[in-house]
Structure 1
Amino acid sequence: MLATFTRGTLLAALALSLSSTSILAQDWQSELPAFRVGLLGGENEADRLRKNECMVEQLEEVLGIPVELYPASDYAGVMQGMLAGQLDFGVLGASAYAGIYLQDANAVEPVFTSLEADGSDGYFALMYARSDSGIESLEDMEGHSLAFADPNSASGYLIPKAELEMAGIDIESYFSSTGFGGGHEQATVAVLNGQYDAGVTWSSGVGDPAKGYSRGNLTSMVQKGLLDMADLNIIWKSNLIPNGPWVIRQAVPQEVKDIVADWMENLPETDRECYIEISQGDGQGFKRVGHEFYENIVAMRRAELEGSR
């Protein structure tokens, strides 16, 4: 007869399986009295905290120490927290990781990236405009305003800017104006409210377009009732961007790294709903990655920084 496992029994089994690596847990627990998780900006704080409640509960169970969430107003807040050693764990966009690496290569290390519903390990930047605007293509955007999401976002700034420039578009002269919306969700709301003519955001690019695809900012906004995809036209799509990494502070004790990695690797099976919440949509789980997965993004970020000097 096949055994039936609840989330609780699976978590208990996971904690038991990790006990051999944490017999001396009291040693690292004195080093790390709390496990601090940074939450990127991009949607409102209440939603970010709600979606990550399951992470707090489950990591506290397997680590045996308090887990604290720190929602930042923008990407830079999490980046600075990681660089200052004030945060231990979190998910970053590819460009935000590159920004940390270029300031301190020893601050954090990538652990996992997310796999999309089709098994791919990348996503897309999408440019969107209101469906009643008459803007149906990138060519129609000439002389109109564009909202980037965040200066440290790959899909919300770095990649669209780089790809448009490679296509021969001068950002300053092609658009009537550009600005930052303060995050992916905020920028989308600004376009819907007519503050900008178009914006850019991140999306898996797979799944049902009417649902905002399978994962990403548009997916989250549709699920929360903030967006009807019929109100937007997708007018441009980037090349594939490597999904951002879940990173952990390099100085965190190895026992903690092992426990957190095992928890994440098993999460799609132990608690599918929690996995979907913290991943901002559905997919095929997590894939282990290292720094080499992001070397091209680091090179792009370095070139962007050098070009702005």
Structure 2
Amino acid sequence: MTKTFTGVAATLAVLMTSVMPVAADWRADFGTYNIGLLGGENEADRLRRYDCFADLMSDALGVPVELFPASDYAGVMQGLLAGQLHQAGVGASAYAGVYLQDPEAVSPLLTTKNVDDSLGYYAVIYVSADSDARTLDDLEGMSLAYADPNSTSGYLVPRAELAAAGIDDTTYFSRTGFGGGHEQAVIAVLNGQYDAGVTWTSLMGEESDGYTRGNLRRMVDNGLLDMNDIRIVWESNLIPNGPTIFRNDLPEDARDLAVSTMLGLKEQDPECYADTVGGDGNGYAEVDHSFYEGIVAMREAELAGSR
């Protein structure tokens, strides 16, 4: 009996060894790897900028990669919560919104590094260059366009900092609204639909270029903005750069390959890196939830105040 059992066990071990690598390969029934793209820029430009990234990720992962541009931030957030997206680069407030709905759904693993390796950026309020407004005080009684209700720099932080300065935006401004995204809000100000708007920028580098990165830089690069046509009248405190977040139920190998690809992106393909981050930077840095705890608390306070 012992000899027979040993023989059977050995046979089973051989069979399991031959089967396990196939069964353990997450690619076998994974389908497509889906990456969400935030709104705030027209869809054609977003897809054009990320085509190279999709190709690099597909090569690294060994599965097809699909890009999903959403019309607004909420679309990407819901896609991540529902498991329809596997990763997305988002703002800190959008991550906080996902986390507060389901703390187990996603994790922030990467953020962009600025040209000096710092990890922050600024919200700014801008006006058309022909506006009489030159300071925040001058904006009293004027209209203001926020970018998106789930934007860190385009809503959460400027509204919180205005409140901390004793400014109630519902009474200080003649009206506030949402431009439908950062790019759309700038266009709305230039077209005279709003007196002022809010967007994000590194505030590093040449002002005429739209700085090193941010919405202004992206618009300048796309031929949609001449920096001589606007004037910045207010800037926020430093905001943590937004994360690339990944679904926690991703196969570990898939997540590790995706992270490794992004960490090497600037060196492997500098042009693709510049296209995807929207300007100049120095690669990616690894982060975790603790880097965004302040924004999570700010978002939680905002939600509590709206109830």
Alignment TM-score, normalising by the size of structure 1:
0.91
Over the residues paired in the alignment, what is the CA RMSD in angstroms?
A: 1.0
Number of the residue aligned with 2:262: 264
Number of the residue aligned with 2:181: 183
Distance 1:44 1:160 in 2: 24
C-alpha spacing 1:25/1:179, structure 2 compared with 1 (3 Å): farther
Secondary structure of the structure 1 residue equivalent to 2:66: strand
CA contact (8 A) 1:114 1:121 kept: yes
C-alpha spacing 1:24/1:135, structure 2 compared with 1 (3 Å): farther
Higher Cα Rg: structure 1 or 2?
A: 2
Alignment TM-score, normalising by the size of structure 2:
0.92
Paired residue for 2:81, among 80, 83, 86? 83
Number of the residue aligned with 2:91: 93
Number of the residue aligned with 2:129: 131
C-alpha spacing 1:296/1:24, structure 2 compared with 1 (3 Å): farther
Distance 1:110 1:223 in 2: 28
Distance 1:195 1:31 in 2: 50
Paired residue for 1:247, among 237, 245, 248? 245
C-alpha spacing 1:177/1:43, structure 2 compared with 1 (3 Å): same
Number of the residue aligned with 1:118: 116
Query: What is the CA distance between 1:192 and its match in structure 2?
Result: 0.4
C-alpha spacing 1:25/1:122, structure 2 compared with 1 (3 Å): farther
Query: What is the CA distance between 1:27 and its match in structure 2?
Result: 2.3
For residues 247-273 of structure 1, what are the alpha-carbon distances to aligned partners after superposition, in whole Å with 9 as ceiling and x for unaligned? 111100000011111101111101000
Secondary structure of the structure 2 residue equivalent to 1:273: helix
Number of the residue aligned with 1:54: 52
Which one-letter code corresponds to 2:196 in the other structure? A
CA contact (8 A) 1:123 1:203 kept: yes
Query: What is the CA distance between 1:166 and its match in structure 2?
Result: 0.2
For residues 16-58 of structure 1, what are the alpha-carbon distances to aligned partners after superposition, in whole Å with 9 as ceiling and x for unaligned? xxxxxxx769720134211000000010000000000011111
Task: Structure 1 unaligned segments of length 5 or more: list them.
Answer: 1-22
- 1:21-60 matches, within 5 Å, as 27-60=25-58
Query: What is the CA distance between 1:111 and its match in structure 2?
Result: 1.2
Which one-letter code corresponds to 2:164 in the other structure? M
Secondary structure of the structure 1 residue equivalent to 2:244: strand
For residues 214-248 of structure 1, what are the alpha-carbon distances to aligned partners after superposition, in whole Å with 9 as ceiling and x for unaligned? 00000010111111101111000000000000011
Task: Structure 2 unaligned segments of length 5 or more: list them.
Answer: 1-20
Number of the residue aligned with 2:8: none
For residues 47-91 of structure 1, what are the alpha-carbon distances to aligned partners after superposition, in whole Å with 9 as ceiling and x for unaligned? 000000011111111111100000000000000000000000110
CA contact (8 A) 1:94 1:243 kept: yes
Distance 1:104 1:235 in 2: 37
Which one-letter code corresponds to 1:176 in the other structure? S
For residues 134-163 of structure 1, what are the alpha-carbon distances to aligned partners after superposition, in whole Å with 9 as ceiling and x for unaligned? 111101100000000000000000000000
Distance 1:253 1:119 in 2: 30
Distance 1:225 1:259 in 2: 35
